[in-house]
């Protein structure tokens, strides 16, 4: 399967749009596998450097993970204040404590505008964005998390550092980098 919705300027991305390889993750902040993959992707980012652009899209599996939607909307609310990646990283790094108390602590730690953040969550301002990400994942054939795509093609291999890095390097070589 391939990515149904191409990467665009509305995505949260680390790395240059000109990078040889784009890795897209459909992730769930409460998913233990996504928590493990988070660390492996960080290692791959370090190894590939400028060759890699990483894009994160929300795919909260609400039935299995009751805190996933709150976490996804919190990351988006932080993003509205220019701190998406800081919140993204903090949510994964504190995954065992996921919930309202952690979110409140992170708002303070990241020095976000608490009133605006709270209003955004109360009004569910980013619910439609999260749902859009989720439905794009469904249309792309994502049926579990993490759902990974390398240069638009679904990657079903291991997300552990070595196999993932090998696949990314192979894609970079195919792209001429």
pLDDT in tens, 62-98: 889 999 999 999 999 999 999 999 999 999 999 999 9
Q: Quick check: helix, strand or coil at residue 62?
A: coil
Is domain 12-174 annotated with CATH 2.30.30.90?
Answer: no
Q: Is the pLDDT of residue 177 over 70?
A: no
Q: Are strands 21-27 and 52-58 parallel, antiparallel or unpaired?
A: parallel
Using CA atoms, how far residue 96 sits from 6, 23, 120, 128, in Å, is 32, 25, 24, 26
What is the model's pTM?
A: 0.95
On whether the CB atoms of residues 8 and 54 are closer than 8 A, the answer is: no
pLDDT score of 133 = 97
| Residues 6 or more apart whose Cβ sits within 8 Å of residue 171 | 20, 21, 150, 151
Q: Quick check: helix, strand or coil at residue 3?
A: coil
How many CB atoms lie under 10 A from the CB of residue 169?
Answer: 18
Lowest mean pLDDT among 34-38, 53-57, 59-63, 107-111: 59-63
pLDDT score of 63 = 87
pLDDT score of 62 = 86
Mean pLDDT of all residues in 17-27: 97
H helices present in 13-97, as ranges: 32-48, 68-79, 84-93
Mean pLDDT of all residues in 32-43: 96
Rounded Cα–Cα distance for residues 148 and 161 (Å): 13
Rounded Cα–Cα distance for residues 157 and 103 (Å): 32
pLDDT-derived band at 176 (thresholds 50, 70, 90) equals confident
For residue 95, give the DSSP letter: G
pLDDT score of 86 = 98
Rounded Cα–Cα distance for residues 22 and 122 (Å): 34
pLDDT in tens, 94-151: 999 999 999 999 999 999 999 999 999 999 999 999 999 999 999 999 999 999 999 9
For residue 24, give the DSSP letter: E
How many CB atoms lie under 10 A from the CB of residue 21?
Answer: 23
């Amino acid at each position: 399967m391939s990515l149904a919705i191409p990467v665009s300027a509305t995505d949260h991305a680390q790395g240059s749009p000109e990078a040889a390889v784009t890795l897209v993750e459909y992730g769930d902040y409460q998913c233990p596998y996504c928590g493990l993959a988070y660390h492996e992707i960080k290692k791959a980012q370090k190894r590939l450097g400028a060759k890699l652009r990483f894009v994160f899209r929300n795919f909260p599996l609400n039935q299995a993970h009751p805190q996933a939607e709150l976490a996804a909307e919190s990351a988006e609310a932080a993003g509205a204040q220019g701190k998406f990646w800081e919140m993204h990283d903090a949510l994964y790094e504190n995954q065992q404590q996921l919930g309202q108390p952690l979110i409140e602590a992170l708002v303070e730690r990241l020095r976000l505008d608490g009133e605006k953040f709270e209003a955004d969550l109360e009004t569910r301002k980013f619910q439609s964005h999260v749902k859009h990400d989720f439905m794009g994942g469904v249309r792309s054939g994502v049926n579990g998390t993490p759902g990974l795509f390398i240069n638009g093609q679904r990657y079903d291999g291991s997300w552990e550092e070595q196999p993932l890095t090998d696949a990314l390097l192979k894609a970079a070589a195919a792209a001429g980098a």
